[in-house]
Structure 1
Amino acid sequence: MLFLKKEKLEYGLIGDFNSKTSVLPDYIIPDDNIIDILNLDEDNEILEYLFDYQNLLRNNIPLHRVSGCFCKPNNYGHRLLNLCKKINIYIVNSRVGDDKGVGARTFKDISVVDYLILSSQLFPLLQKFAIAEFEPLFSDCHSALCFEFQASLLPHTRGKLGDLNDTNQTFVKWNSNRSSEFVNCSQTDSEAILADVLISI
């Protein structure tokens, strides 16, 4: 999921990441001494990036996560947490909704490997979040992540919902032939993910 909010691109990821993160932090609290030494306190853009986690606190979202999984973090978990820290996205599980303070298991009632992950600016739009009871009709092992967003339409889009059936519209589609590029880009450059992997039909 990609969201455009206030002319800034916000991120939303959901799915099975095969990542066991336990309760390790998905954020970094910057060291004030380093900021002073490097004279970073004059650059608002850098400060906004470094202190992005405070947007969670402003919206009463706890920084600390809990987990019903007692597994040790795995390599994929560490890689996912590093991605979160680099581009300021945060795991929703155990932070909001019915799962707040719970950290329900999502895989075989053993571990948490399925996540909803959002930019801090998207948390206020999230109205509901829960881990559904396992349903074998829908999955062999995973419990569904249930969530709802609430957002008003931008002024220039109101009254244009009928245009969604327009056959001349351009849509974005996943190109599975370029999946290796996605992996390479996600490991090196988060901006390149948007430029190189998501292509128009």
Structure 2
Amino acid sequence: MSEGSTFWLENKQAVGTVAALVGDQKLVIYRDRYYIVINGAAVVKGGKPLRYSRSSLPSLWKKALRGDIPAVQVPPVPESDIPARTAVFRKALVRKEKELSIMPESKPSASAPELSPVHPKQRPLKKSTRQPGVKAAIQSVVAAECPYCSQKHEIPVEKGRSGKPFFQSCTKCASDFAVRFVQVTLFQAQVAGFK
């Protein structure tokens, strides 16, 4: 089979080549990957379309590609795995309804896409849990450990805030070592010894 097939892939229309048919399902090749297409949309699991390489295809589809189509029907894919094809249109229609709220409502034409309800598993993204009145603690000192004797030193942030390395003298063994502050969440000190 080498007929073309248009199907929904995430949030866009894709055109691939039909590789095999089993029941009402198609196996479509798009950009060197195989997708199972039902009702014009790629099968989705966990919000992502399922894509396969030739070696990772389910055994049913490998048999279908070889021409050994079994007499057993393909189990139907749950409705929750079939994506809503009108997700892109939904945003545009909502914006237009808000802008054109003065116009009287009319019945949608037969060619207009049907809007499906929002999937119950989809939840809005949570905002940051940080409370607006709470400020992050300001760091005043950075801990640095001597590479020779492991003595801990507390160095003021102002000394190395620029990110340039500087020399620090150890209070225990009196040797010099290099220190550079690195900002991760808080400043951390990188040390290097010289002999």
Q: TM-score if structure 2 supplies the norm length?
A: 0.19
Higher strand share: 2
Q: Which gives a bigger RCO, structure 1 or 2 (Cα 8 Å, sep 6+)?
A: 1
Larger radius of gyration: 2
- Choose between structure 1 and 2: higher helix proportion: 1
